[in-house]
Structure 1
């Protein structure tokens, strides 16, 4: 069954006010994101020319039986203009489609600007005022310009920035229409949100300001200006304290000097953890292998098993890797469990990354998480705060 464009005139647009004090409502097409004044007729005209909408609904009929279109161009009747005049077919039958296929032809729906060829196939002509496409399928220069702007790697321009980038004025005191001047290049445009946004996508002044807002472009060393990486605004990760892990350990066992430094082995005898998504215990048997280099900087590589306090507890592996850094005399004092209690955690840097893994479906979401942690040593206990990377 054919789909009529009237069915989507309202569903295809989202209403909004550009500013809280605006009296007039605007609408934005959910298919191509273009902004239009809230007007049913213009919304219908927009959908008839919206390539994204027409691709999503290939069976759409422009103008249904409840909204018939007027007669053809220049006073020509519907039948003559649309090619549905009663004319004999090639073999004398009433319908060429019936004669060729043996099946009755479906009743056509008249669409303005659509003629029918001799073989019964529709000959679609572009609507008046639309961007024309040559016979070879190559889009016109205007269409190419719009397509290039929409595929820009620059971040999407929020509506509030579109309005902030233009100053409204009247060329003459008695002008009814308001014009807008770009504050970045001083070019004057008609007051139209869609055209103002398209202008900003090609405005070198605005693009240079937009690139300066990208954090990666404020580094000491940067990508070349024409490289795509210089125009990408990536989301910045955030950190949320997710859980605290306290591990009781046995005295350190010195293994000896290896290829990369002095190695030590520290065994876990238990502990506990508590956080945003649960709490429980640290099972005995975990191991922490530490490698200390000449300046006493120590690499941490630990693997523990933690357990939830559920009636049917889940078992989770916890892998920890990182570095324990500080001044040499501080690091030497930290080797003594008694002296370590008198050294504040701010005197050294104990930073690690963590990964959790479990086969229990109740906690499956932790399998894709990443945590960074800050640790400290207190006598026979190591404590970590784990921050989830979002």
Structure 2
């Protein structure tokens, strides 16, 4: 189809960004009865019809008064670009202004009169002449009870996670607005807005739906604490991954009797030396070399601070050496803690009667075990006579 008489680009330069975004949603497509092989389009803002052509549709929007009234930022961009082109003297084509209205059908034909392309606007999609949509999306579908859908909003920047497809489907109830409709409509179960069924648009809606947003924020563990961040604080909308724990290795450490150093600034200090031991786990096994030290500081109610360093050796033909640092607390009822100070009595105290919780870090210069350098472990321990046993759970 050739260029229509009197039509030219409004200005030389790039189209405003909103034009590129809105060109497809600003027109409804249909097949012209006289030319069934060609698609035609009708502007949802002024009801003008034309052959389907993306470039010409963009040009039309730049001169469509209802569209420009609804998008003042586009009008400003187009005006500024035209002024720049005129100032630079780059307008080599004659400017013809708006196309002759006689080329297009009457946007508001009398009752019973069809447009010259044989297309009658569908009130369910286009609305009545006095109810044409004034925004950049397709016309909203009203609810069966007459409640119109809200204007389409662009998705706001959000720190909330992307909504899974199954949750998008679960958040909407599908139905046919009319019995003879070929397309399904969808009602948001959180705000009752109704729109045409479209997964992408439904997901966009949920990202700005106040009802769904409140439900989504409640799923963030940090928002269910006793004290919370303010509603508008970015930390209240951050969904962070929850660490998982995997049992990675166990250490059994043989120790000498405890040496009491005496009362220092923070409590009563003791020194416990390692005489050996063994370890085994997912990434290897081996022994603990003699010489490791465990400094313990006992504070109020016999709660004890653990600060220990050990040296692990692997069972490889050429062994690797791995340093192991253990820090944590040993706490429990006073009578239980008193029994644990006696190596013989400690054998009769079940591990669940007290808390022996530690953080473990490993470090090595051997490339075969370099992965441990960036790992972090939390562990639980127990005292058994002259041995201390730790289970190390890797945080992932």
Whether TM exceeds 0.5 here: the answer is yes
User: 1:172 and 2:155 equivalent?
Assistant: no
| 1:221-261 deviation per Cα after TM superposition (whole angstroms, max 9, x unaligned) | 11111111111111000100000001010110000000111
Q: Which residue matches 2:375?
A: 369
Q: How far off is 1:184 after superposition?
A: 0.5
Partner of 2:298: 292
Between the aligned partners of 2:209 and 2:244, the Cα distance in structure 1 is 32
Given the alignment, which residue of 308, 314, 329 partners 1:323?
A: 329
> Which residue pairs with 1:31 in the alignment?
none
Question: 1:107 aligns to what?
Answer: none
Name the structure 1 match of 2:385: 379
Asked if residue 302 in structure 1 is aligned to residue 304 in structure 2, the reply is no
SS at match of 1:281: strand
Distance in 2 (CA, whole Å) between partners of 1:127 and 1:272 is: 78
Structure 2, gaps ≥5 residues long: 1-19, 23-37, 39-52, 81-134, 138-150
Who is 2:101 aligned against? none
Give SS of 2:182's match.
coil
Question: Structure 1 residues 377 and 197, CA, compared in 2 at 3 Å: closer, same or farther?
Answer: same
CA distance in 1, matches of 2:260, 2:391: 27
Q: Which runs of no fewer than 5 residues in structure 1 stay unpaired?
A: 1-48, 52-69, 71-110, 115-124
Give the 3 Å change call, closer, same or farther, for CA 287–206 of structure 1 in structure 2: same
Supply the distance in 1 between the matched residues of 2:198 and 2:271 (Cα, whole angstroms).
70
Is the alpha carbon distance of 1:147 and 1:235 closer, same or farther for their aligned partners in structure 2, counting shifts above 3 Å?
farther
- In the other structure, the counterpart of 1:245 is 251
The verdict on how the C-alpha distance between 1:270 and 1:50 changes in structure 2, with shifts beyond 3 A counting, is farther
User: Partners in 2 of 1:243 and 1:158 — Cα distance?
Assistant: 36
Task: Look up the match of 2:161.
Answer: 155
Residues in 2 aligned to 1:147 and 1:305: alpha-carbon distance in whole angstroms: 61
Are 1:271 and 2:304 matched, yes or no?
no
Aligned partners of 1:142 and 1:383: how far apart in 2?
67
Does the CA contact (< 8 Å) of 2:255 and 2:273 recur in 1?
A: yes
Q: Is the partner of 1:149 in helix, strand or coil? A: coil
Cα distance in 1, alignment partners of residues 190 and 207 from structure 2: 12
Shift of residue 294, structure 1, vs aligned partner = 3.1
Asked whether the 8 Å contact 2:154–2:204 carries over to 1, the reply is no
| 1:385 shift after superposition | 0.2
Give the aligned partner of residue 193 of structure 2.
187
Secondary structure of the residue that 2:365 maps to in structure 1? Answer: coil
Question: Residues 142 and 354 (structure 1 numbering): CA distance in 2 closer, same or farther, change over 3 Å?
Answer: farther
Shift of 1:333: 1.1
1:146 Cα offset (Å) = 8.7
Residue 136 of structure 1 deviates from its aligned partner by 3.8
The Cα of 1:134 is off from its aligned counterpart by 5.3
Q: Which has the larger radius of gyration?
A: 2
Per-residue deviation, residues 35-54 of structure 1 (Å, max 9, x unmatched): xxxxxxxxxxxxxx689xxx
Inter-CA distance 271–168: structure 2 relative to 1 (3 Å threshold): same
Deviation string 1:199-229 (CA, Å, 9 cap, x unpaired) is: 1111100101111111111111111111111
Q: How far apart are residue 151 of structure 1 and its match?
A: 2.0
Cα deviations by residue, 1:175-204 (Å, 9 ceiling, x for unpaired): 222111111111100011111111111110
Question: Aligned-pair distance for 1:113?
Answer: 3.8
How do residues 119-134 of structure 1 correspond to structure 2 at under 5 angstroms?
Answer: 126=58, 133=74
Contact 2:153 2:205 in 1 (8 A): no
Q: CA RMSD in A?
A: 2.9
Aligned residues: 273
CA distance in 1, matches of 2:279, 2:377: 15
- Check 1:223–1:129 CA distance in 2 against 1; reply closer, same or farther (3 A cut): same
